[in-house]
């Protein structure tokens, strides 16, 4: 036995010729593997793998405290696997809609809706333009969407407001999310109208004065199917010509929104606030706004006329009402999406 084998008694050695043959075999095998990989071609997406899906818009209308019902609507849609590709909101609809479009789940929205306090949203001030500054609302939204701009949301989003002087509708689809929601919620005579861009831009007020349920805006943004939510329609049979605000409505953030929008969107307005616009013509504008809502493919009207939202238990009732009204229309929504999808396949 050699000295080398004595030092390494348990090690086996291959001859140089065998090593050469093994190396050649491995190289050949590797070459065949590379060749096989190169021969594979990517499969192009087909209609079967990626069917054409219609652009579904969820339109959330104004309505102050009744807007908690929007959370229930989202909850029912989510439970049934329906996710919109676009969310358009006015006033409280823009508040709920911005959070949802930024990525909140229905459960997260419900938790936030039940826990949020007026003090988180209301900043009183002394001004001849209003008594709520609106900065807290803006900061609340921006904090909860992670400081992201509207255009970075996973679901396309638009907030509807109105130019204060001309009453021209404004639809914000980019930029500061908190500022857009602040503008959309700025009830005349109550909130100080923000400027967009800040400090140098035009002043904007609550979108409910021109588009309570912004169906037309959703259509303009390319929606194929529009699901509109009107939380004020259930109150239509209630006379409130001389409605006196309650103590609660004058101390609640949601009450501030509800006083102005829940019934005719312009009760607090007068000719001194907007040039060349009379109070009567403003009230008359409610009729065409109802027609706008009816141009939606699906209209959801939660039964919330008898519900207040001063305490948490009532907020839960509002959310439940929204979910119930939506569940009743799930079959119609799914059928509409199916029909539109099939039509798109045939025409593509």
> Could you give the percent of the chain with pLDDT greater than 90?
61
Give the mean pLDDT of the chain.
80
For residues 116 and 122, give the distance between their C-alpha atoms in angstroms, rounded to a whole number.
11
Q: What is the mean pLDDT of residues 210-214?
A: 96
Cα–Cα–Cα angle for 302, 305, 309, rounded to 5 degrees: 90
For residues 259 and 267, give the distance between their C-alpha atoms in angstroms, rounded to a whole number.
8
The count of other CB atoms within 10 Å of the CB of residue 29 is 9
What is the pLDDT at residue 346?
Answer: 78
For residues 91 and 204, give the distance between their C-alpha atoms in angstroms, rounded to a whole number.
12
Q: What region does 286 belong to: left with phi over 0, alpha with psi -120 to 50, or beta?
A: alpha
For residues 183 and 178, give the distance between their C-alpha atoms in angstroms, rounded to a whole number.
9
Q: CA of 96: how far to CAs of 60, 62, 86, in Å?
A: 8, 10, 13
For residues 81 and 84, give the distance between their C-alpha atoms in angstroms, rounded to a whole number.
10
* DSSP count for the chain of H helices, then E strands: 13, 8
Give the pair of three-digit tokens for residue 225: 């199917």
- 67-103 pLDDT, tens digit per residue, is 999 999 999 999 999 999 999 999 999 999 999 999 9
Comparing 162-166, 177-181, 305-309, 342-346, which segment has the lowest mean pLDDT? 305-309
Q: What is the mean pLDDT of residues 39-46?
A: 35
What is the pLDDT at residue 282?
Answer: 44
Q: Is the pLDDT of residue 35 over 90?
A: no
Residue 52: which H helix or E strand, with range?
A: none
- Pairing verdict, β 56-60 and 225-229: parallel
For residues 263 and 63, give the distance between their C-alpha atoms in angstroms, rounded to a whole number.
8
* Of 245 and 61, more confident: 61
Give the pair of three-digit tokens for residue 159: 């907030």
The confidence band for 287, taking pLDDT boundaries of 50, 70 and 90, is low
- Decide: 121 and 133 in contact? Cβ < 8 Å: no
Residue 150: which H helix or E strand, with range?
A: none
Which residues fall within 8 angstroms of residue 282, CB to CB, at 6 or more apart?
Answer: 209, 265, 266, 269
Which residue carries 């004065």 as its tokens? 209
Cα–Cα–Cα angle for 33, 37, 40, rounded to 5 degrees: 145
- 102-147 pLDDT, tens digit per residue, is 999 999 999 999 999 989 999 999 899 999 999 999 999 999 999 9
Q: What is the mean pLDDT of residues 308-314?
A: 71
What is the pLDDT at residue 275?
Answer: 41
Q: What does the DSSP assignment read for 173-216?
A: -SSBHHHHHHHHT--TTTBPPPEESTTTSEEEEEGGGT-SS-HH
Q: Is the pLDDT of residue 239 over 50?
A: no
* Of 287 and 54, more confident: 54
What is the pLDDT at residue 234?
Answer: 66
* Of 150 and 47, more confident: 150
The confidence band for 251, taking pLDDT boundaries of 50, 70 and 90, is low
The confidence band for 289, taking pLDDT boundaries of 50, 70 and 90, is confident
Comparing 29-33, 116-120, 214-218, which segment has the lowest mean pLDDT? 29-33
Give the pair of three-digit tokens for residue 304: 């919330």
Q: What is the mean pLDDT of residues 319-326?
A: 97
The confidence band for 24, taking pLDDT boundaries of 50, 70 and 90, is low
- 184-204 pLDDT, tens digit per residue, is 999 998 999 999 999 999 999
- 264-280 pLDDT, tens digit per residue, is 444 434 333 444 443 44
> Could you give the percent of the chain with pLDDT greater than 70?
70
For residues 126 and 262, give the distance between their C-alpha atoms in angstroms, rounded to a whole number.
25
The confidence band for 207, taking pLDDT boundaries of 50, 70 and 90, is very high
Q: What does the DSSP assignment read for 261-286?
A: HSSSS-TT--TTTSTT--HHHHHHTH
Burial 284-316 (b: 16+ CB within 10 A, else e): ebbeebeebbeebbbbbbbebbebbbeeeeebb
The confidence band for 21, taking pLDDT boundaries of 50, 70 and 90, is low
- Pairing verdict, β 169-172 and 195-196: unpaired
What is the pLDDT at residue 343?
Answer: 87
Q: Which residues are catalytic?
A: 91, 206
């Amino acid at each position: 036995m050699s000295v080398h084998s004595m030092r390494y008694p348990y090690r086996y050695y291959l001859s140089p010729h065998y090593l050469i043959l093994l190396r050649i075999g491995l190289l050949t095998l590797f070459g065949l593997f590379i060749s096989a990989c190169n021969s594979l071609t990517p499969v192009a997406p087909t209609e079967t793998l990626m069917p054409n899906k219609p652009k579904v818009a969820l339109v959330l209308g104004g309505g102050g405290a009744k807007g908690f019902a929007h959370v229930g609507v989202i909850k029912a849609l989510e439970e049934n696997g329906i996710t919109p590709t676009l969310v358009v909101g006015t006033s409280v609809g823009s508040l709920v809609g911005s959070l949802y479009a930024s990525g909140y789940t229905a459960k997260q929205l419900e938790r936030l809706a039940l826990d949020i306090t007026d003090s988180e949203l209301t900043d009183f001030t002394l001004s001849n333009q209003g008594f709520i500054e609106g900065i807290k609302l803006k900061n609340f939204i921006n904090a909860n969407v992670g400081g992201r701009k509207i255009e970075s949301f996973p679901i396309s989003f638009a907030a509807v407001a109105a130019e204060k002087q001309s009453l021209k509708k404004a639809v914000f689809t980019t930029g500061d999310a908190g500022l857009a929601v602040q503008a959309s919620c700025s009830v005349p005579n109550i909130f100080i109208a923000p400027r967009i861009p800040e400090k140098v831009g035009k002043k904007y007020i609550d979108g409910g004065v021109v588009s309570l349920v912004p169906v037309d805006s959703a259509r303009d943004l390319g929606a194929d199917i529009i699901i509109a939510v009107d939380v004020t329609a259930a109150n239509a049979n209630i006379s409130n010509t001389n409605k006196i605000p309650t103590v609660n409505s004058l101390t609640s953030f949601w009450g501030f929104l509800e006083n102005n929008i829940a019934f005719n969107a312009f009760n607090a307005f007068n000719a001194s606030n907007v040039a060349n616009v009379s109070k009567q013509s403003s009230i008359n504008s409610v009729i065409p706004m109802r027609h706008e809502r009816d141009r939606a493919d699906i209209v959801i009207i939660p039964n919330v006329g008898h519900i207040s939202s001063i305490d948490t238990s009532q907020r839960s009732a509002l959310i439940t009402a929204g979910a119930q009204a939506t569940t009743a229309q799930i079959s119609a929504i799914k059928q509409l999406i199916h029909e539109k999808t099939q039509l798109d396949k045939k025409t593509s």
